[in-house]
Structure 1
Amino acid sequence: MRESTPYDLNNPKSWQGADMQSLESFYQSDLLPDLETLEAQRLTVKKKLVQAIVIFVALNLAFLFVHGLFGLNLYLMVWLTFIILSALFTFFFWHIKYYRDYHTGFKDRIIPRIVAFVDQRLRYDKAGMVPREAFMASHLFADKPGEYSGDDLVSGTLGETAIQFSEVHAKRVDIIRKSSSSSSTNRTKKQITPIFDGLLFVADFNKSFKGTTIVLPDTAQRLFGDIGQALQSLNVQNGQLIKLEDPDFEKLFVVYGQDQVAARYILSTSLMRRLVDFQNRAQKKMRLSFSDSKFYVAIAFNRELFEPRIRESLLDISHIQEYYDDLKLVVDIVDQLNLNTHIWTQKSALAATSVAAANAAMESGTSGVPPTPPPPQGGRKRYSEEETKALFREFANKADTSMAPKIKTAKRWLKRIAGILLAVIALPFLLSGVGMGGLITLGIGLFFIVGGFMSPSVEKMVGGVLFPAIGIVIAVFSYSAYQTSLASKSWPTVSGSIIQSEIKKRTSTSGEGTNKKKTVKEYPNVTYQYLIDGKTYKSGKLSFSSTGNAKQVVARYPVGKRVPVYYNPEKPKQAVLIPGGAKFNYVPYFFSGFFILMGVLLLSRWRKQTRALGNAG
């Protein structure tokens, strides 16, 4: 059985050399055959990714070629929509057909062996995670996670200490209810804020103590000195500020607790020294807590852990070294903090809420969540009003958490379907020249498509870029059209002839049953042709403003009539029969401002969410 070997913390080269030598031997004998197989699969995945990129580029080049060949007058947003749709479908197919099997094979065949190499007493579960109840019991974060996920659970007992750790992603979910003065109904909106992303470590701390002691990174005093220390004392939600005698420890950490004596009992001089050494080695932001005879450590990471590479070869041992170092960093907490020291160990019955009990439950196939404690003796407990409200909120949160994955999946599919339908509806409008309505429909559809396939953070980021772009395009095109209508008064004229003149009817139906009504709208369909520099042009645009009654227009322009045509000398295919236009139209600019405002709000929420994630990391 291979167990962790002790080493000198102050001389990293002493343990790196020894571990690297054994790691190289393990790599050659145990991992290399499977890595060679996975490397061949990685090359296929990489090749197919390159092919997907080539197909994506070729599709867009073909789109541009067709655009130029037929002289289509398309908006920029049409091309942007085609780019995003072709990217989504091309790379989604690549992920499903190639990358997913490669990812699963790596997690099944490589990571478990590295975990066993670190210590054979450890057990690996790629889909498991430290339970939400343990995250809450750590008291490391003030916010309750409404969305909680994770993977890569490692568990086992090292000596006398049972441990668990996994990658964890915790997010706060706020349901914001807005009431309208004009309606009796309330609208709800979900706001998601990251709490923590990284590794969460839990171990049995076999030392009897009261209350909870929390150790956090000391950023306030390091940045603001004595003022920062005063600010720390105001953080009452974590308990009392506890000052300790170790200056090196005080530079790195700030301690809060419910009991001064208990905190000093836990954080002995030797433990503080070992925490300082561990922090200097890890060089990561860490949060630690001691609560209910358990020890918690949250180590923030700004990257996904234990994931296979695509761009770089799997045969490079430096990647295996990185996976090993991440695991070793956490596993060695037991040895470095002397959690197995006999003076700390209590030989008592296995507590139902201990990590050891949770590990035993997982190995036996039952739930690792501690059972609900029995009600107190002496009859049913009577709760106060505040306790009742708190219990109801907890019940509502649990119900929301259990339904959240199903609701989230349904919302994503609705967004995908709605987005694709809106994009399909918008394209005929844009191709036929109805730019404003098509552009708005296309923008909303594109936003839904991104929201249906990407994460909420990417959805906000894309919306923050897409909506202002739509608003700017609407404003620019509207102003350009207005300027063109004014300039048409000074355009040169050429004689043309009416080649088509008719009334078209459009029927629409509204209401149901006896209230069902049909409305018939008539509009003129007049086409004329004209000759410039030996080239014949056709156009159906009569004016930049409304042309009035359809019958009057058709009577005014019968087939065969010679008419003066006002044409744009820079773009001869742009022409009208009635130059000039109506007064300045403010409506497009209201739409433009609305889209820009929506984009700014989404971008602000995205930056706030990203900043919160950075602070948590």
Structure 2
Amino acid sequence: MPAQVVSSELGFRVDSDNDRFVDPVVTYRYIIDGETYTGDRVSFGSGDASWSQSRVNAYPVDRSINVRVNPNDPTDAVIEPGGRGWERFLPLGGLVPLGVGVSIILTGRRRLRNPELMRGPSGPTQVGPKGHWIPATLGIIFTTVGVFIVRDGLTAIQIARASSTWPTTEGTVVLSEAHREWDREEKRHTYFPVVVYTYEVEGVTYAADRIRPGSIRGSSRTSASALRLTKKYPEGSLTPVSYNPDQPSQATLVVGESVRSWRTMVFGGIFTVIGLVIALVFFPRPWAHQASNQGTGSPRS
């Protein structure tokens, strides 16, 4: 459906905790059966500050665009159908419980067929030639996740090292506040700073929310440290922004490598080691069982 953009700017949305997040605010008009409608939905998903500003840049005022309209509700329209943020990866999360479920089924079937494996509530005292598929599968999952985290950590370290040589430009802080998040494991609130800034490179406006290089967001038990950082970058203030010359949408306020830059890789390394140990201990190894049987059955001299 043809439409025309009437306004386009970086705006805010507020969640249930009254925390603000940047969002693209793009308003457009379209006509159906002679009646004019107004919409403001860009996509069904959400993204970070960089994505939000890129959508504002993609849909400037007076631009002609195409929108998708709900045939049952003409007031419901969207520019980009489908998720555009982390929601796209939600289906992948179903692979973890699926793998665990398959492992439970296979292990249960094996125990029913072999009564010797039902001797105790926790199974046999030694790992047999067929292994234990539930912990083995969990070990493989842990290892796979750990490898991906390590890869992201290495990328973060490379970015941190390279940021020291990035060019700088003047940016404007558009959002600066401490957000509160509930930690279910420790049953307490944690606080983390959110600083969003815009900057211009070769006539193009960009937005970013990276304070320092690194993938793991820093948090604190109290709001004091988070507020201390946000006070350093108050809303409306001008601040130097270092950006990647090869990818201007990638920027940071603090440059250089630090301890924070290694957090992701260390965390991923621990995940990988734990997964490998679990997988190696419980993975099926019939060759070892066969060698053990041959040694046990050999005649003594």
Query: TM-score, length-normalised on structure 1?
Result: 0.26
Task: Select the structure that is richer in helix.
Answer: 1
Task: Select the structure that is richer in strand.
Answer: 2
Which of structures 1 and 2 has the larger relative contact order (alpha carbons within 8 angstroms, sep 6+)?
Answer: 2
Which entry has the higher C-alpha Rg, 1 or 2? 1
